[in-house]
Structure 1
Amino acid sequence: MNQRWIIVAAILLTALLVQIPSVLNPDLSCLLSEAEEILDGRKLGVDLFELNPPLSIYLYMPAALLARLTGIAPEIIVIILVMIEIIGSLFMIDRAAAAAKLGAGERCLSTCVLAFLFAVLPSAVFGQREHIAVVALTPFVAITAIRWRSLSPGAVAILAGLSAGLAISIKPQLALVVGLPIILAAIHQRSLRPLFTPEACAAAAIVIGYGALVVIIFPGWLFTYAPMVAATYLPMRKNLAGLLPFPIVVITASIAFLRQVSPQGLKMGDDATPWLAAAIGGAASFVLQGKGWTYTLYALCMFAIAAPLLHVRTKTLPVSVRIGGFVGVVLIGFCLSLSLREFPSLEQRIQALAKHPRLLAITDHVALGHPLVRQIDGTWVGSSCAQALTAGAILAQNNSQPTQEERAKLDGIINFERRQLLADLRNGRPDVILVDTLLQSSVPFDWLAWASSDPELQMELRRYREVEDVGRVRIFADPSRSER
């Protein structure tokens, strides 16, 4: 039993060394920068705007705060805090297994498999909201699986429920991951009791409490900004033909391997059913979000792999099954590690214009300014990471036939982001401005013309001169402040 924790320590240490140079990605960088801006005095929904609910930013606040107190890079602290979360999640699952009197071998397998799936499988997804949330809600799924076997997980179930509640508050779509297993348990038992377990009630209490806090503390974000997000950003999604193939393949493969490793084959009452249901919930979450981004696949992939691996009961499996399982895990890990570089390398070009520049971007893509601004030790002066609402409004106007009232609403949203940009230029006084030339990375679009259509914005932008075109990006600098 002690050896498994040595294995876990080795897994986490390996993941730590791999992640330190590579953890930064556009979304994590943007949210981390916004957390730092809040520490500097900005107010969410007033002079700082984020597409995601408030907890998405505050999730990274401890890392930003600890970085200022210790002098350690916040990116490294994010990795360390996620490792601590992983250990906490594994501990909860193990305590529940001990209370249920599961065998030492099963507990060993569970701890090592989940440590690998938490720390190594995520690859480029490591540290993103989806990763943090899935690690937090896995104990809930494990406890549902224990109750599925008519065993008691003990008092740690309440802690697992609180953890799952936080996870759902981070990413509401992940409610499907914990919801489907308990609904299936209610059907299996022909009783509503699985819906009202201590962990389910604890999770619901956290979600309701968080919702109340958002109403009280962030009314500007909730009642002004969120409706604009719902009108423009949420409708931007891939069609089902682009979303369904990967989940179908992964779920099918998981079921196929379950049939091989389970001694009785796969049946409704099988111990792996809650884990498979969680994987299907992850697939539904991915499709519901509709963006097709890699990190939104993590819940599906994690639970689809966990379902068969946690339930290997035969000591001798055919070589073909072992090889197939290994190849499947590697392929899924490879898919999660894929990271499409949307923009050319700009670090050296910008540093040649200004040291530690104040940076701003005019684009609908967060990856233009992030993690670039952190890599060049610059300062982000935007009130948001991208003009994503404008992109959604333009697409809605061009791809549908909005009524006069709807068009006026969309024009108001576009004007809102122009006013934001004007305030950023006046208050932030950027040294360098990056201007995109594509909409949604596919449609040619003159973002400079979009900004300059406002007379006040045009006046502010006259202070900048274009110094270079790099791929799809136009670079503008303020000659009065640039250092060559």
Structure 2
Amino acid sequence: MTRLSPATAYRRLVRSGRPWALVQIVIVLVFSTLAAADFRSINHDCALLLQAAQLVLEGHRPYVDLFETNPPWIIFLNVPIAWVSRALGLSAALTFVLAVQLLFAAGALALSHVLGRLARRLDQAEAGTLILGFILANGLIAIRGELGQREHLFFLALVPYAFLRLLRHQGGACHRWVAGSIGLALGLTVLVKPHFFIGPILLEIVLVVAHGRRPAPGRPEWIAALAPMGAYALYWLTLPPPVWRAFTDHAAFMLGGYGAYAKGLGRIVESLVTYDGYTAVALVLTVTWIALVARMRFVLRPIVLVLLAVTVSGLAILLIQSRNYGYHRAPFYGGAAMLLAASLVVARSQSRNRRGLGWLRCDMVLVPFGLAVGTAALSLGLVVPAVLRPGPDSPLERIVKRWSRPGDTVFFIDTSVTPAYPLLLLLDRKPGTRTFYCYPLALIGKLSGRWSDEDSPRPPDPGALIARELRYLAELEEDLRRSRPAMVLIRKPPCQACPAGFDVRDYLRVVGVMSRAVTPLFDRVEDHPLFWVYVRCRICERRPLVPHLHLETVEALLKSLIDAPRKDERCATTSPRTF
């Protein structure tokens, strides 16, 4: 019996593929477990859209009962998650995180299947390196707090589709159900934002130019991708005329005023250089590989071209959105992480048959192992202590818990999504306003031309309000009365997308919303660094006075006792939910 040297046994073990499969499974399980354990850190936009889906399940209609800055498709994608959460009695945030991790694992399996069928077959170490690059890219996105964001979902679907299209252009075959699943995932995610179509379009252009022929047919994935597009088109065609008019009016309002949240192309480009280390690495990798691909011909060039198409489309999506939000960078960062993995694969491939570089063939592939283990250890170090020893509630969370109960409505008058979300979803409170947060205030300021980024405006003259402003203020008052919130929290200056001198509460005082819909029904009870806190007066509970009652509450109590037969709406007492 021939005895193998340790070096030979090591090389055979690496080439067999078993370590790669084991590490992939372990890393996916680690990231999934950590994400599920830390579900309270769900991204704010994801929490808002998930709560919108809960309202749709309750019968609310988009552009009639609720309005959001995004087209409704992303809300519809969250409806099954909200339904499963309700049916199983699970936390909505936990259900959402588990659903995203399921999509993540499915994407890794689909990518593994496609890489094994490429015309220029990759060995186990090379394919495993690319798959680990995909896994680490998603781990990086999750660590940055962007798990489940729309750009993250798009990246999860685009990468397997990109390699599937490469397989088609090389004349390879793929299992029909795998191809259909990959196409369906892309069709579901590309509809979320119109500019996501840049990804598959740029990919096809790159593949056609690289192979010098027309697009290769891919019937299963194309049919599956077109199915949700057809369903979405049918939804729009069957909208009742009043709802269609409401949508077009809201879309025109958004397109005209959403520039209030824009940072400008110059600031975006500047931030790409100065934002963080991730951006610098991503830019260097992208530019370097574009230069190398233009000059060199090598065996794995098609794989690098596909990943460059993914990365450059991610950069284009970031620049087009011009918001400079961290999650807009997810496809760009993810593509760059996979380019890093491809760099190792290409270096290993180029080292073959070269004297003195043979050791790279096996040892270089240990780098992804080290990255995977290091990332998992970092995640464990960050998440496990927070899960085992959770810190105290934030001051805002304590205030909301003190003055409201689960299921109550909490009304945030704020131009930012945070900190209202994910707080409302995690504490099981409902939003008071039909727009979830008061972004129309920022849009109206942009449309009215009363302020800019440089000046410090005074509250407007009530006689100078524009028509869209009057309409929104009427809707805001209607929401305050209709939803009967337990609390109203008004943002202190500064507020997002507002000039430095703009005070939301002063504005509401000048236009009359405070005197008509807030102060007659609510008492200001305590302060928070970011909000003025008002609590609804309850005349029917007859609770004892509490130490922090304000003078207006005492006056309202005396008035309600004198005029009891009239059942005045003013406050009999104000007390926390614990009394």
Q: TM-score category by the smaller chain?
A: 0.7 to 0.9
Cα distance in 1 between the residues matched to 2:318 and 2:162: 18
Among 441, 444, 450, the alignment partner of 2:507 is: 450
Shift of 1:149: 4.8
Cα distance in 2 between the residues matched to 1:126 and 1:272: 26
**1:388 partner letter:** Y
**1:15 partner letter:** F
Aligned to 1:54: 72
1:50-77 superposed Cα distances (whole Å, 9 cap, x missing partner):
1111122122212211111111111111
Contact 1:381-1:424 within 8 A present in 2 as well? yes
Seen in structure 2, the aligned counterparts of structure 1 residues 399 and 192 have a Cα distance that, compared at 3 Å, is farther
Q: How many positions carry a matched residue from both structures?
A: 462
Aligned to 2:90: 72
Shift of 1:305: 1.4
Cα distance in 2 between the residues matched to 1:119 and 1:369: 26
Cα distance in 2 between the residues matched to 1:204 and 1:99: 24
Shift of 1:228: 1.4
The 4+ residue runs of structure 1 with deviation greater than 6 A are 259-262
Seen in structure 2, the aligned counterparts of structure 1 residues 197 and 415 have a Cα distance that, compared at 3 Å, is farther
Aligned to 1:28: 46
Among 358, 378, 399, the alignment partner of 1:349 is: 399
Contact 1:100-1:154 within 8 A present in 2 as well? no
Shift of 1:299: 0.3
RMSD of equivalent CA atoms: 3.6
Shift of 1:202: 4.9
Q: How does 1:148-227 map to 2 (within 5 A)?
A: 149=170, 151-153=172-174, 155=176, 156-193=178-215, 197-198=218-219, 199=221, 202-204=224-226, 206-217=228-239, 219=244, 222-227=247-252
Aligned to 1:129: 150
Cα distance in 1 between the residues matched to 2:287 and 2:513: 62
Contact 1:354-1:483 within 8 A present in 2 as well? no
1:369-409 superposed Cα distances (whole Å, 9 cap, x missing partner):
21222343323222122121220220241357xxxxxxx99
SS state of the match for residue 271, structure 1? helix
Residue 253 (structure 2) pairs with residue 228 (structure 1):
yes
SS state of the match for residue 477, structure 1? strand
Segments of structure 1 that go 5 or more residues without pairing to the other structure are 338-343, 401-407
Aligned to 1:42: 60
Contact 1:279-1:300 within 8 A present in 2 as well? yes
Aligned to 1:483: 575
Aligned to 1:381: 432
Residue 57 (structure 2) pairs with residue 14 (structure 1):
no
1:310-356 superposed Cα distances (whole Å, 9 cap, x missing partner):
3513162999x979x969x98xx99xx9xxxxxx8411123233333
**1:451 partner letter:** L
Cα distance in 2 between the residues matched to 1:12 and 1:167: 22
Cα distance in 1 between the residues matched to 2:324 and 2:536: 37
Aligned to 1:404: none
Contact 1:145-1:275 within 8 A present in 2 as well? no
1:431-477 superposed Cα distances (whole Å, 9 cap, x missing partner):
11110133326623222233344556632212212223322321111
**1:98 partner letter:** G
Cα distance in 2 between the residues matched to 1:322 and 1:8: 14
**2:527 partner letter:** D
SS state of the match for residue 125, structure 1? coil
Shift of 1:234: 4.9
Contact 1:161-1:200 within 8 A present in 2 as well? yes
Q: How does 1:38-437 map to 2 (within 5 A)?
A: 38-100=56-118, 102-105=121-124, 106-123=126-143, 124-147=145-168, 149=170, 151-153=172-174, 155=176, 156-193=178-215, 197-198=218-219, 199=221, 202-204=224-226, 206-217=228-239, 219=244, 222-234=247-259, 236-245=261-270, 246=272, 249-255=280-286, 258=289, 269-311=301-343, 312-313=345-346, 314=348, 316=360, 345-356=395-406, 357-396=408-447, 397-398=449-450, 411-437=466-492
Cα distance in 2 between the residues matched to 1:34 and 1:180: 32
Segments of structure 2 that go 5 or more residues without pairing to the other structure are 1-16, 274-278, 349-358, 383-393, 453-462, 540-573
Cα distance in 2 between the residues matched to 1:66 and 1:145: 36
Cα distance in 2 between the residues matched to 1:399 and 1:203: 44
Shift of 1:10: 1.7
Contact 1:181-1:278 within 8 A present in 2 as well? yes
1:178-210 superposed Cα distances (whole Å, 9 cap, x missing partner):
22121122223343425x643456535543542
Identity of aligned residues (%): 19
For normalisation by structure 1, the TM-score amounts to 0.84
Cα distance in 1 between the residues matched to 2:73 and 2:57: 15
Seen in structure 2, the aligned counterparts of structure 1 residues 43 and 410 have a Cα distance that, compared at 3 Å, is farther
Residue 529 (structure 2) pairs with residue 471 (structure 1):
yes
Cα distance in 2 between the residues matched to 1:478 and 1:371: 23
SS state of the match for residue 398, structure 1? coil
Contact 1:467-1:477 within 8 A present in 2 as well? yes
Contact 2:85-2:92 within 8 A present in 1 as well? yes
Of stretches 427-436 and 226-235 in structure 1, the one that deviates more from structure 2 is 226-235
Seen in structure 2, the aligned counterparts of structure 1 residues 215 and 227 have a Cα distance that, compared at 3 Å, is farther
Of stretches 228-237 and 290-299 in structure 1, the one that deviates more from structure 2 is 228-237
SS state of the match for residue 143, structure 1? helix
Cα distance in 2 between the residues matched to 1:30 and 1:88: 25
Seen in structure 2, the aligned counterparts of structure 1 residues 249 and 467 have a Cα distance that, compared at 3 Å, is same
Contact 1:259-1:265 within 8 A present in 2 as well? no
Contact 1:283-1:297 within 8 A present in 2 as well? yes
Of stretches 366-375 and 40-49 in structure 1, the one that deviates more from structure 2 is 366-375
Shift of 1:239: 1.6
Contact 1:365-1:387 within 8 A present in 2 as well? yes
Shift of 1:244: 1.9
**1:353 partner letter:** W
Cα distance in 2 between the residues matched to 1:183 and 1:309: 23
Cα distance in 2 between the residues matched to 1:91 and 1:128: 21
Contact 1:23-1:126 within 8 A present in 2 as well? no
Seen in structure 2, the aligned counterparts of structure 1 residues 220 and 44 have a Cα distance that, compared at 3 Å, is farther
Cα distance in 2 between the residues matched to 1:67 and 1:477: 30
Structure of larger gyration radius: 2
Seen in structure 2, the aligned counterparts of structure 1 residues 215 and 393 have a Cα distance that, compared at 3 Å, is farther
For normalisation by structure 2, the TM-score amounts to 0.71
Aligned to 1:403: none
